[in-house]
Amino acid sequence: MFQVAMRSVMAQRLAQPRAGVTCAMTGAMTGRAVRAKAAPFLAKVGAMFIRTIILSLLAAPVLAAAPAPPVKEAWDRTRPQVSGAWVRAAAVPGRPAAGYLVLAGGGQPDTLVGVTSPGLRIELHSMSMAGGIMKMAKLDSVPVPAGARVAFAPGGNHLMIFGMTGAPTSLPLTLVFRNGKPLTTVAAVRAPGATPPADPHAGH
Ligand SMILES: [Cu+2]
């Protein structure tokens, strides 16, 4: 395109020399003389074209790097997230079931202060071994530091679920936080393991 433009300009200059040039020249102007006169002009036009192209090339990355319009997040990164929730049904009817899940801390620290499910009572529990004896303690809250992984898992912190009857295949769990909005997840209910650990809930 640049070459085409140059050729076009050159053709114009050669076909129609400026009036001033023909007036100043009394004799017939040779093609060579016209080209000689036209050369500085063509060089100027060419430089302008090149400058335009270079400026366009320089501008392109700047435009590409401009910030994209804000996109609504699918979820709020500042809040904790919950995953992998499941419930182990009690081995003995009437005993509480145990619930497990993993919390991923958000951008801001928060604290889990409770878990609810319709018709059930749920407590936060810790579990520890002391002198070969498994001990549980009720927790009022569980900190969820920013960016941390907080697991409720067999042998450690867990949810103690009272009042579960029948054999539901899933259980909705709503996690209540001190700062953020509640989070609801669905926990799969599994049968008691074939080799359950010593029943740490005998005291309930
Ligand atoms: Cu417990």
Where a domain ends, among 36, 65, 94? 65
The pLDDT of residue 142 is: 98
Ligand 1 center to 192 CA (angstroms): 15
Q: Is the pLDDT of residue 141 over 80?
A: yes
Ligand 1 center to 134 CA (angstroms): 10
Residue 55 sits in the same domain as residue 92 = no
Number of domains in the chain: 2
Residue 49 sits in the same domain as residue 95 = no
Residues with Cβ within 8 Å of 66's Cβ and at least 6 positions away in sequence, in order, are none
Higher pLDDT, 105 or 30: 105
The pLDDT of residue 25 is: 39
Q: Is the pLDDT of residue 107 over 80?
A: yes
Ligand 1 center to 147 CA (angstroms): 26
Q: Can you say whether residue 166 is alpha, beta or left, with left for phi > 0 and alpha for psi between -120 and 50 degrees?
A: left
Q: Which domain holds residue 108?
A: 81-190
Ligand 1 center to 83 CA (angstroms): 20
Facing residues of 110 across strands? 144
> pTM for this structure?
0.58
Ligand 1 center to 129 CA (angstroms): 13
Higher pLDDT, 90 or 68: 90
- The position carrying tokens 């709020």 is 76
Compute the distance between CA of residue 107 and CA of residue 76 in angstroms, rounded to an integer.
9
Ligand 1 center to 158 CA (angstroms): 6
Q: Could you tell me the CATH number of the domain that includes residue 171?
A: 2.60.40.1890
- Residue 202 inside a domain? The answer is no
Residue 88 sits in the same domain as residue 55 = no
- Residue 133 inside a domain? The answer is yes
Q: Is the pLDDT of residue 159 over 60?
A: yes
Residues with Cβ within 8 Å of 57's Cβ and at least 6 positions away in sequence, in order, are none
